[in-house]
Amino acid sequence: MSLKTNFLPALLLAVMPTVAMAEAVAPDDVVFEDDVIVASLTGADGNAVNGRKVFANRKQGNCLACHINADLKEQLFHGEVGPPLDGVADRWEEPELRAIIVNSKIVLGDETIMPSFYRLKNGARTAEKFQGKTILSAEQVEDVIAYLRTLKE
């Protein structure tokens, strides 16, 4: 019993990149209120500088695969599957942005091609390596939100 309680935090610490993340709300526990998520997933503000990297990184957000974003013009290729995200902070409040990124289906509709970045229930046959994992960590989601909030026109 005491072994268990000692073991768990150590395990979490080993798996999670930072200590702060140990407090992040789990994907299945995220609370949607009227299709928005009010509270930060980590309980803290995100880091916009890192969010910009997550946005562009092909193995993380890869948001550029589908969205044009003038702020990242040093990146050669911007996709056009979704709308440009220039000025996105003028169109959406933070809780709405959080909902779109956590579970795009709830806000944009079931048919959307946009992935849900902080949800465990994804498509069938998810490759073993990605099973039981969200595309982004709670911290990365908050970082992306912090970054999106800088995109004003």
Partner 1 sequence: MKRVKKAMFASGLLAFTLTLNPAAQADPDDDTLVIDGVEVITSAKGKEDGPLDELYSGWRFRSDETQSFQADDFENPAFVAIDQALEQFEVVEGAAGKACASCHEGGPEEFEGLRAALPRWNADTGKPETIQHIINECRTERMQAEPWKWEANEMLNMTALVGLQSRGMPVDVQTDGEMSPWYEKGKELYYTRVGQLDMSCANCHEDNYGNMIRADHLSQGQTNGFPVYRLKWAGLGSIHRRFKGCMSNIRAKPYKRGSDEFVALELYVASRGEGLAVETPAVRN
130, interface contact from partner 1, ligand HEC, none, CB < 5-8 Å by kind: partner 1
Contact 116, 103 (CB under 8 A): yes
Give the span between the Cα atoms of 33 and 16, in whole angstroms. Answer: 28
Q: Report the site for ligand HEC in 51-90 (rule: CB under 6 A).
A: 61-63, 65-67, 81-83, 85, 88
Give the span between the Cα atoms of 48 and 45, in whole angstroms. Answer: 9
Under the binding rule (CB under 8 A), the answer on residue 61 touching partner 1 is no
32, interface contact from ligand HEC, partner 1, none, CB < 5-8 Å by kind: none
- Binding ligand HEC (rule: CB under 6 A), the pick from 75, 91, 133, 152 is 91
DSSP 75: S
9, interface contact from ligand HEC, partner 1, none, CB < 5-8 Å by kind: none
80, interface contact from ligand HEC, partner 1, none, CB < 5-8 Å by kind: partner 1
Question: Cβ atoms within 10 A of the Cβ of 45, count?
Answer: 13
Q: State the amino acid at position 52 in one-letter form.
A: R
| DSSP, residue by residue, 4-58 | HHHHHHHHHHHHSSSSGGGGSPPGGGPPPBTTB--S-SSSS---HHHHHHHHH-T
DSSP 94: H
Under the binding rule (CB under 6 A), the answer on residue 124 touching ligand HEC is no
The least distance separating partner 1 from the CB of residue 151, rounded to whole angstroms, comes to: 16
Encoding tokens for residue 106? 């709830």
Closest CB to ligand HEC among residues 6, 150: 150
Please report, as ranges, the residues that interact with partner 1 according to CB under 8 A.
Answer: 34, 36, 58, 62, 64-66, 76-81, 83, 91-93, 96, 113, 115-116, 122-130, 133, 135
